[in-house]
Every structure is written in C-alpha cells, then in structure tokens.
Copies of this chain bind each other. A is one copy, B any other.
Amino acid sequence: MLECIDLTKTLKKKETKALMDEMDRELALLQREAKQYQIPVMIIFEGWGASGKGTLINRLIQPMDPRGFKVFTIQKENEEEAMRPFLWRFWTKTPAKGRIHVFDRSWYNRVVKDRVDGHVSKEQLMNAYSEIVSFEEQLSVDGTLIIKFFLHISRKEQKKRFEKLASNEQTSWRVTDEDWKHNKQYDEYVGVYEDMLEKTDTAFAPWTIVEATDREYASAKILSTVVHILKNKLDDVRQAQNAQSPGAPAPAALPAEHAFKTSVLDGADLSKSLSKDVYKKRLKELQTKLGTLHSELYRRRVPVVLAFEGWDAGGKGGAIKRLTANLDPRGYEVVPTASPNDIEKAHHYLWRFWNNMPKAGHIAIFDRTWYGRVMVERIEGFCTEEEWQRAYKEINQMEEHLHNAGAVVIKFWMHIDKDEQERRFNERMSNPEKQWKITDEDWRNREKWEQYEDAVNEMIVRTSTTYAPWVIVEGNSKYYARVKVLKTVVDALEQRLK
C-alpha cells in the first residue's frame, strides 16, 4: 500500500489558512455533537520515526475542547502492563461515550516494534493480528468510532529530519542510535508496515495514509479526514435514531475532501515512451521468454491470475494481445467481463470470477475484473456504499485465498491522461475499423473522469498487497505500456519459479 504513494504533495500555509479555519470551526462543533450523541472516538497515529506525529497531533487538537479529549503517548509497557495480555493497557484506555482519545503510537507497536526487536514470536505475531482486529471490531460494532492515520515519509526525508534534529544542540538528544538504525533498515520496515496495513485495514477501522513530507499538507489532510469521518458517523447515528424518515439526504461533501484524496495515479510519469525499434526488439525477447516460462509453470502446476483494469481506450486489449501472442492456447484463457447477466446477478458478485479462476498450471487473463465493484458499481450506484466499502476487504481476501493456493496474482492499471483518451476516442470515431470500439457510454464515463480518479486511487491504495500488487502502467505510449506489462509478468514468473 505504501510503494505507490506520491510523497511530493505540498500546500502553502497562506493558501490553506481559510480552509483550516473553517475545518477548525467544524471540528469544534463536531466534538460537541459527538458528545451529545454519546459517541466514543479513538484517533490513532502511527508512522515512521520523525514523521511528525507529535506536531500533527498538537495541530489536530487545537480547536477541541480540552475537557472532552485526552492524548496518550504509548511507550514501552511498564512492569504492570507487561504482566497482562498486550491489549490490556489499551482496553483500559478505551474512551467512555462522548469522549475522544488520541493515541501517539498504539497497539500497533506489537506488530511493528516488538516484532522487529524480536520480542514477538511468529505465533504471537499471528495471534496479535487477530487480537487487534477483534479488539477494533468489538469496539467499533459497539459504537466506537476508530480513525487510524499512518504518517508516511521517504527514507531520504527521514534522514534529512534526523540530521536536522541532530545538528541542533537543543534537539540532538531526540535522535537515538536506534533511530539511525531504523533509517538504515527503512526497506525492511516498509515490509513490516505493509503487512500491518494489509492485515488490519478493515471496513470498520480503515487506515488513512497521510503523505507527511509537507506539514501543512499533512495537517490539512488529517483535519479534513477527521471532520469528514465524524460527520458521516454523526449522520449515520442521527439517521438510525430517526429510522422513521429513511432516505435522509447524504451529507454534502466538504469542499476540501477531494483535495486530500491519496493519489497514486498522479505519481505516474506519462511521458515514458519507447521507440518502435526498441519496442519490437524487446517485445520479441519478452514473448519468447514468456513462452518458456509458460511451459515451466504448467510443468510446476502454478496458477496465474492477471487482472487488467484501466481507463477506456487505455490499451488493455492491445496489451493482452501482445501478452498472449506466443502462448500455447491450451494453457491460458482470456476472460472478458461485461455487465453481469441475470444468472450472475442472482449470485454473489464474486461468484462469476471464482467460476473462472484458473487451474494450477494455467493462466487466466481478466479483461476488466471484480474491481468493477469499487469503480463503476460504486460510481453508478449499482451497489450501496456499505457494499462497495466492504468490497476492498472481500477482494483482498479472495486474492489472498488464491495466493494461499499457490497462485501468482498481478493487477494492471492501464493509465493514460484525459487528453490522450480524447485523442484515442476521436481516432476510433474516425476510423471505420475501430468504430465498434467506441460507444456513447464511453463518452458519458469520460465526463465522470474525476470521480473515477478518486475511486481508482482509493482502490489501488486499499488493495495493493504484497501477495497481489497493483502495477500502474504508464500508457500514453502504447509501446512502452505493452513492454512494461510483459516485463512485469516475466519478472514475476521468474521470481516465482526460481
């Protein structure tokens, strides 16, 4: 979930002044309402050392009434605490109804620090995850609102911050040997954090990843997120209490909401391209390699699932064509996904995809996928918000089951920009051989580009896992895109068959 986050986001203090003031007022009001409606709230801050947890917590609580919240700084457990189940000290710190408890680090220490320091065995680690999930579920189903932030900075940024602290006499004590060690082990920690985020990103207590390079940006995003989530929760509670008037209007989105959506697409460099000569040469090499690997994975009984999503005219079809050019047709299948038919509609939305999962040794290539649930179905209202919200977890579970059964699972997002799409649409319109490829619906979808952008960003962050990663394919250059797809598949299969 972390690799693809764009960490370059910034905001100017001056620009955000008015926005921040507005959100502060809103938060103060929401705190009072949460008290009135007796909602307990837990706000958890996790993240890299020197990512600014202290500063950002201070900023967040500024507008709040101090009688209604409390900040807990979680350090190593004391002797009393160490003699009880590790969640004990957090159970005792759960907020009463109407109160807000903010945690600077939390129970996640167990699966990060304790884990890396070797205080936790593998079995304890597995237990810890299930205990954490049930802890959060028990509280959340009982009415507690749980908001979890992960503050993300790059290795370089972290080093810069440590150096700055170390160079100042007043603050140098704050940087420990351990901090330097952590910075060296940054890559190892990425794995640990990914694992933590994957295993504990639930519908009832989802993570929000905060790009924390720029303090202004991070402050604004945190504030906006808390306001947004609290608002929704209050709305749900109010609606539940007035069950006689269902269908109350959904709360208006805050103007700031869109601005703080985590973007993974923005980071994609769409200027990447390949010359025709290089393309032809690389394509041939990779196709040959893939052919060999295909036989090998058949022999070794490895199932492979390749999922293609992307903008209309993003190049899915072309990429799939090049991918399969040199494959033995008995060993792969391309599964196109259209709107569900009546029989499919009468089943669980994952049913038709389960039906098409490949046998061991075979490749299934899905042209559009189960991700329709969190894109088109979400945006067009073909399913309820509750349904698409929980779909992230369900999809992760399905892909994990495939992984458990030995499958290689890769998901491609074929990415182009809006201008390139227009160019391709027009080209299709004017080319009689390609006209069938373009419909009125494509133009209509295009009008919802920003909505799709938000949905795709959220989808990629929530479902990019170590066992089934998303690969964003910079697709403005078709040559570049096709080679990248092939190369990714070849690399993954080589890795798997090693």
Contact = CB atoms under 8 A, between A and B. Distances in A.
A352 to B, nearest CB: 10
Nearest to A386: B141
A354 B354 CA distance: 42
Given A127-B404, A303-B84, A91 B142 contact: no
Interface stretch (A11-19, A92-100, A153-161): A92-100
A84 B346 contact: no
Contacts of A348: 94, 138-139, 142, 144
Interface string A273-306: 0000000000000000000000000000101000
A98 B343 CA distance: 12
A89 B48 CA distance: 43
A381 to B, nearest CB: 17
Contacts of A83: 301, 303, 359-361
A355 B402 CA distance: 41
Contacts of A139: 348
Nearest to A87: B401
B354 A92 contact: yes
Interface string A327-367: 00000000000000001001111110011011111000000
Contacts of A401: 85, 87, 127, 131, 134
B390 A141 contact: yes
Given A357-B88, A404-B127, A394 B244 contact: no
Contacts of A343: 96
Contacts of A346: 38, 96-98
A404 B131 contact: yes
B357 A84 contact: yes
A304 B351 CA distance: 46
In the complex, the count of this chain's copies comes to 2
A94 B353 CA distance: 13
Contacts of A74: none
A126 interface: yes
Given A343-B96, A402-B85, A405-B84, A350 B246 contact: no
Contacts of A397: 131, 134, 138
Contacts of A303: 83-84
A460 B472 CA distance: 52
B127 A347 contact: no
B94 A347 contact: yes
Nearest to A139: B348
Interface string A98-133: 100000000000000000000000001011000100
Nearest to A390: B141
Nearest to A99: B346
Nearest to A86: B405
Contacts of A141: 390
A88 B134 contact: no
A380 interface: no
Contacts of A144: 348
Nearest to A347: B96
A169 interface: no
A243 interface: yes
Interface in A33-53: 38, 40
Given A303-B84, A359-B83, A138 B94 contact: no
A22 interface: no
A80 interface: yes
Interface of A: 38, 40, 80, 83-88, 91-92, 94, 96-98, 124, 126-127, 131, 134, 138-139, 141-142, 144, 243-244, 246, 301, 303, 343, 346-351, 354-355, 357-361, 390, 394, 397, 401-402, 404-405, 407
The 6 lowest CB-CB distance pairs between A and B, nearest first, are A91-B354, A96-B346, A85-B405, A83-B360, A83-B359, A97-B346
Given A126-B126, A142-B348, 20 more contacts: A38-B346, A83-B301, A83-B359, A83-B360, A84-B358, A84-B360, A85-B357, A85-B401, A85-B405, A87-B401, A92-B351, A97-B346, A98-B346, A124-B404, A131-B401, A131-B404, A134-B397, A138-B348, A138-B350, A243-B246
27 contacts: A80-B359, A83-B360, A84-B303, A84-B357, A84-B359, A84-B405, A85-B401, A85-B404, A85-B407, A86-B405, A87-B401, A88-B357, A91-B351, A91-B355, A92-B351, A92-B355, A96-B346, A126-B126, A127-B401, A127-B404, A131-B401, A131-B404, A134-B397, A138-B397, A142-B349, A244-B244, A244-B246
